[in-house]
Amino acid sequence: MIKIVNLKKSFNSFQVLKGVNLEIPADKITFIMGGSGTGKSVLLKHIVGLLRPDEGEIWFENQDLTKLSEREFQKVRKKIGLLFQEGALFDSMTVAENVAFPLKEHTKLSGKEISSKVEELLSAVDLLQAKDKYPSELSGGMRKRAALARTLALNPQVILFDEPTTGLDPVLQITIMDLIKKVKETYHVTCVIISHDLILAFKYADHIAFLHEGVIIEEGDVEKIKTSTHPFVKHFRESALLETKSEEV
Ligand SMILES: Nc1ncnc2c1ncn2[C@@H]1O[C@H](COP(=O)(O)OP(=O)(O)OP(=O)(O)O)[C@@H](O)[C@H]1O
């Protein structure tokens, strides 16, 4: 679906990505994990052209995205949606207006068709009852759901989620992840999720990749990560399990 080849990126003299190689499988949930500041967000920003690499390729639909002009990238951005942690809704618009916005900007749908699409999307994320509310009136979890509905509006093939569950309580984390899974199944979207949460990854991921010191040091299905002997993965796994133990106490 998306193939990243030898991607390198430095800021000033600091090399964040040192040759990332990663294949993101279609119609699956891929988790990209790693410590803070290892370049996970930087990697996602390359996929949507918000950052350009120093070297390397990103293949999607038989084209190398790194070679596209800004204008050509606009078309790709309709197919690959990026959801930031905070959701980035327009504060001056209601939830329904937020979701309608990309449809008005990028499609030729009539007002009536847009309204019915907005209703469908808000039902899909279970937020129809809040359609006339403003973002400031919503909880964090509701804002994330509204942002997801807005991203879904253009029928993307891929959605990149930058830490979708950060800042939510454990129950809401599960609600959001269940929703992402449902959306993936209903709309057949490929989901890429940046997360620190190995427990959630073990529950929801089809594929997990670990970014460490600028490269992918381990990747595979849940079973492979659970049994990986790579020292960093082992350490990450042990820390995550310790956290669960201390929560249980
Ligand atoms: N536009 C930029 N200019 C300069 N440095 C940047 C820029 N964007 C990111 N960086 C640096 O790149 C490194 C990786 O940042 P990034 O946000 O990708 O980390 P991350 O793995 O997503 O971290 P976290 O899990 O804490 O969100 C950091 O040291 C950050 O300061």
ipTM of this complex prediction, to 2 decimal places: 0.95
CA nearest ligand 1 atom 9, residue: 42
Q: Centre a 10 Å sphere on the Cβ of residue 178 and count the other Cβ atoms it contains.
A: 12
Residue 243 pLDDT: 58
**Residues paired with 9 in a beta bridge:** 17
State mean pLDDT over 201-211. Answer: 97
Per the model's pLDDT, the better-predicted residue between 43 and 179 turns out to be 43
What are the structure tokens assigned to 32, written together?
């990209």
CA 178 to chain centre: 14
Residue 195 beta carbon below 6 angstroms from any ligand 1 atom: no
User: Could you report the per-residue pLDDT of 215-241, keeping only the tens digit for each?
Assistant: 999 999 999 999 999 999 999 998 887
What value does the CA radius of gyration of the chain take, rounded to a whole number of Å? Answer: 18
The secondary structure element, H or E, covering residue 85 is none
Label the pairing between strands 190-194 and 29-33.
parallel
What are the structure tokens assigned to 162, written together?
């930058």
pTM for the model stands at 0.90
User: Could you report the per-residue pLDDT of 131-167, keeping only the tens digit for each?
Assistant: 999 999 998 888 888 998 998 888 899 999 999 888 8
Q: What is the CATH number of domain 2-247?
A: 3.40.50.300
User: Which among 7, 20, 42 is the best mutation to test ligand 1's pocket, defined by most ligand atoms within 8 Å of the CB?
Assistant: 42
89 neighbors 135 (Cβ within 8 angstroms)? yes
With 80 as the cut, is the pLDDT of residue 205 above it? yes
Label the pairing between strands 63-64 and 14-24.
unpaired
